[in-house]
Structure formats: structure tokens, C-alpha cells
Amino acid sequence: MHMYPKKFVEISFLESIISKEKLSCSLFWIYELYNSGFKEDCFELLYECYFYFYAIKNKQFINIIHKNYENWQKTGDKYIIGKLVKNLKHKSFDLDIFKLKIEMDNQKKSRMKRYKKEAWENEYGKYGIILRYLYRKDYDIMVSRIKNIPQNEMGLFMDSVVRYFKSSGIHMEKYNYLIEYIDTNHPFVYVYVVYIIMLLDNNKLYNERKIVTCISSVEKKLIDSFDNHEGEYNFKILNNHRLHEVASDFISIFNLDIQDVNILEETRNNWKAHITNTPFWLNKNTDEYDLEYDEQTLRCQELSVFKANDKKTDVILERYK
């Protein structure tokens, strides 16, 4: 990355967009990713963000993301990503899908809870037990079971889900366009299927705010400033442009296995080894274009460092309700 570890940037963006932080903070994180050369990854991150937090209450907004992504592919307009972030920031969100995603990630094996077998389960074969947990609204155990379905079977499982909801009286026609988006070749299919299940189980329509707000001239200037280093000495770039601290509490929710790594030492001493796959650095001579990580103040360096804690997920997420 340009100024921070990539995964920290992505998670800090997710945190900023549902927090009470200003829009400028969310724009900072997404454009740190964008300006580091991970432009396609920005849209991937936005899709993830949408399904984690916004899709349940804003199911039509996916079409706006699609259209803007297609427009960006044609034009390369860097402000498109900012416009999408601005519009998401002002929408109602929900943490349920995100909580289930974290539950799914943290479960190493399927969990069990004894419920009486339902008479209809045999119709769904080996997926019947998962649908039993859905029927009982025991979503945590449901996702621990979904996690262990082989990815190439997710289409078959989704067929069973559709049949289950049809038998429950849900009119599937209005959801067909969402089911058509399922890509069983993408690892995100697990979260997407959980989203479809929760959407169908709630079967509730929300009043969506359909107005799309554009990026203002002031916001465009802010976006431009994120990668404008003209006239600055290299050793001053980090101090001047590393504006926000990574969201350590939120990062700790994710199963990243980073607690045993001294990232401050790694960044300071081995930064060249960690930037080899960052597009921003591909055509630069790192000896001449050296941000001099080891010469920064301790405070500047610590802005990019994860600080481990033992807070529970529910406690951390409580602040975003």
C-alpha cells in the first residue's frame, strides 16, 4: 500500500462508513486504496460494504453500484467511487448480515443444537438440517453449517432455499433478479446467500431513499488532495497525508491472526518487502522515492499500527447501533 497495510485500510473504511465519522474520513480510506493502485479493489470493497450493512434496507441500490461501476470502466472517472461512498454514508444500515459474516468466519466447525426434526426436512436431503435452523431462526448455527457446504454445491443449496421459501408462501418473483446474481465461483457467495436468506426470511419492504447525490466541488478538491504530493519532500509525505488512525477495535473483529506480528517494526524496517505487490510502487525507484518510514515520528508511525485488544465483538458493535 501507499501509507498503510492494505487490509487495515479496507477494514478502516468499513468502520468509517457506519460510524459517526465525517464523510471525509470514509473518502480518505477509500482513496488510500484507490491511489495505491487498487482501483478495482475499491469497487469490490464497496460491494462487500453494501452487502454487509446496507443491502437489507436498500436492495435497489445495488443497481446504482452496477451502473456506476460500468461507467467507471468506460471513463476512469475517479470521482465515481466517491459519489457511491457519499450515497452509502447517508443511507440506513443494518448490522445483522455483518454479524453473521463474522460468526461464519470465526466458526472452525459446524455447531449443533438439538431441535426436533421437522417432518418436511427429508424433502431437502442433506440441506434439511440447515433449513431446520433457519425455521427455528437460529441463524448463528445456520451460518456455521452453511460455511461447510462446498462452494461448488452452493447453487444446489440455493435451489433448496428457494423451494423452502416457496413452500412458506413467499412470492419469489420479486426476488428473482437477486437470485440471478449468484456467482458460485466467487468466495463471497457465502455472504451473498446468507443475505438472500435473511431478506427472504424477513420478507419486509423498506422505504428507500432513491435520490442520488453528486460529489460537490469541495469534496472533489479533498479527493484531489489525497494524492497531491507535488513539491513535498518524501520524508514529509507520511506526516502530512497520513491523516487517520486505523480502526483497531473494528480490525480485531476480523480473524486476521495478526496479534503476534510487530507491525510497527515490520513497517519501519521491512517496508520495501511489503510494497512489492502494490501498483503505486511498480514504476518507482524506491531508493529515490523513499517515504522514509523509519524517520517518521512515533505518532505518525502508530497511526498505521493495529493495537490488539480483548473486547468482544458485541461490545465493539454496540457503538454503531
What confidence tens digit (pLDDT) does each residue in 233-250 have? 444 445 555 667 778 888
Looking at the domain assignment, is residue 130 inside a domain? Answer: yes
Section 118-128 average pLDDT? 94
Q: Verify that 104 and 68 share a domain, yes or no.
A: no
Q: Verify that 245 and 114 share a domain, yes or no.
A: no
Q: What is the pLDDT of residue 119?
A: 92
Looking at the domain assignment, is residue 314 inside a domain? Answer: yes
Q: Verify that 135 and 218 share a domain, yes or no.
A: no
Q: What is the pLDDT of residue 126?
A: 94
Give the domain range for residue 141: 96-202
pLDDT at 54 over 60: yes
Q: What is the pLDDT of residue 48?
A: 96
Q: Verify that 84 and 128 share a domain, yes or no.
A: no
Q: Verify that 43 and 81 share a domain, yes or no.
A: yes
CB within 8 Å of 169: residues ≥ 6 apart:
none
Q: C-alpha distances in angstroms, 107 versus 111, 143, 144, 187, 249? A: 8, 9, 6, 16, 20
pLDDT tens per residue across span 138-181? 999 999 999 999 999 999 999 999 999 999 999 888 888 888 87
Section 33-52 average pLDDT? 95
Q: What is the pLDDT of residue 235?
A: 42
| pTM (two decimals) | 0.84
Looking at the domain assignment, is residue 160 inside a domain? Answer: yes
Domain final residue pick, 183, 202, 221:
202
CB within 8 Å of 108: residues ≥ 6 apart:
none
Section 67-85 average pLDDT? 97
Q: What is the pLDDT of residue 233?
A: 40
Q: Verify that 78 and 151 share a domain, yes or no.
A: no
Count of domains observed in the chain: 2
Q: Verify that 195 and 133 share a domain, yes or no.
A: yes
Domain final residue pick, 202, 233, 265:
202
- What angle do helix axes 189-202 and 154-167 make, rounded to 10 degrees? 0
What does the block give as the cell for 212? 442520488
